[in-house]
Amino acid sequence: MKRIYKYIFLVITIVLIISKPVRAQEITHIQKDINLIFVLDSSYSMNVNNKNKIAEEIIYMFVDNLPSKDTKIGYVAYNDSITTFLKPTTIKKHEERVNIKNRIKSIRKTGYSDMGLGMKKGFELVREDLKENSQPIMILISDGETSLSRNSNRTETHSELDMEEIVKKANGINMPIYTISLDKNHYILEGISRKTKGKMYDNPSSGDLINIFKEISENYSTSTVKPFIEIKGTGKKQDISISVKESYRDESNILVISSEPIREANIIGEKKDFHFSKSKYYFSVKIVGNKEGELLLNFITRKNAKVKVYKLSNYNANLILHVPDKIYKNKSFKIDAYFNMKMTSF
């Protein structure tokens, strides 16, 4: 959504600097599909620095809550070699999202770490699948720098050169690299993000998950993330009731996040057209179609835990701007802007 606002501002700015009259025209902004690759450090040290499984929680949140229609997600897991990977794949079906998460859950943390090798493989997977109307994004999750065995056929210099090359290539295809640092040695990750117009997130907790998701998703999709209510955990089973109103939508999400682990989360009543996903610190309900009525959720979390509920709205629309017949410098004018479809809402 932020990108659409930037586009409107750019069009208006261009018009303002024109000194000659401009003929009427219709300008259409078509939202790009998302092509997201996660590059996940799976070296032995991640057993220590990722005890709370924040790395996995970040990936699950994007898989569960990004708009399913126009998104592809893949991953690379690396230590001192490439341990496993999945090229960017669609997440239209609930089963596809479950498959990605199950693969992430099965990754073992062993061996040394070769960050350059992991980034190189991630870039290759994105580049092979890149279409004209897609926005590539890389999210690199690591607890530090490259560390290789003496017996490795690669050196830290090899890895550093690979990182430098991928940063250049990422800029060549307009791919920001966001980084998640899970240790204090974050200067390398910060540099990668800064050079590619991404952002580094330093040692995030469960409370930071929503901010990471919101900032990245709103930059590259037509999604908005809005807080609904905030409550405290009771240590016992508690309910949340949410009114779902009729709207012109394909899907939408309810996201419940706790500062402490969540247990026994569930939907009460009819589950048709609801896709339920649960992780350690959150659970999410993806609503399919124009569902209307009351959605009742219940769960257990620790007493006094901070519980926040968010509504995720997705636009399935292109922005259309109508520029007037004649525009003169230093004179006021009107631009009509509208979407060709209505917003997903509650």
- Domains of the chain: which residue ranges? 2-29+317-339, 33-220, 223-314
| Inter-residue contact 80 to 125 (CB < 8 Å) | no
C-alpha 160/C-alpha 162 separation (Å) is: 5
Q: Which of 112, 111, 130 is nearest to 122 (CA)?
A: 130
Residue 180: half-sphere exposure toward Cβ, Cα within 13 Å: 28
Residue with tokens 């949410």: 242
Sheet of strand 82-90, all strands in order from the earlier edge strand to the far edge: 82-90, 71-78, 33-41, 134-142, 177-181, 200-202
Q: Region 113-131: what's the mean pLDDT?
A: 95
Structure tokens at 161: 């050169």
Residue with tokens 């003496």: 150
| Positive or negative: CA dihedral 211, 76, 157, 167 | negative
**Band of pLDDT at residue 7, cut at 50, 70 and 90:** very low
Q: Which of 123, 117, 122 is nearest to 153 (CA)?
A: 117
Specify the CATH architecture of the domain 33-220: 3-Layer(aba) Sandwich (3.40)
pLDDT at 290: 62
- Average per-residue pLDDT for the chain: 85
pLDDT > 90? residue 86: yes
Q: 167 burial class (0-12, 13-18, 19+ CB within 10 angstroms)?
A: buried
Q: List the helix and strand counts (H, then E) for the chain.
A: 8, 17
Q: Region 261-273: what's the mean pLDDT?
A: 83
Residue with tokens 């069009």: 11
Q: Which of 254, 233, 255 is nearest to 300 (CA)?
A: 233
pLDDT > 50? residue 58: yes
CATH pick for 223-314 out of 1.10.3720.10, 2.60.120.380, 1.10.260.40, 1.10.443.10: 2.60.120.380
Q: Which of residues 323 and 271 earns the better pLDDT score?
A: 271
Question: Which residues lie across from 296 on neighbouring strands?
Answer: 241, 268
Share of the chain above pLDDT 70, in %: 78
Q: Region 94-120: what's the mean pLDDT?
A: 96
pLDDT > 60? residue 213: yes
Q: Which amino acid, residue 216?
A: I
Question: Which residues lie across from 72 on neighbouring strands?
Answer: 35, 90
**Band of pLDDT at residue 269, cut at 50, 70 and 90:** confident
**Band of pLDDT at residue 286, cut at 50, 70 and 90:** confident
- Report how far apart the first and last C-alpha atoms of the chain are (Å, whole number): 18
Q: Region 308-337: what's the mean pLDDT?
A: 67
Q: Region 276-281: what's the mean pLDDT?
A: 92
Question: Which residues lie across from 257 on neighbouring strands?
Answer: 282, 308
**Band of pLDDT at residue 342, cut at 50, 70 and 90:** very low
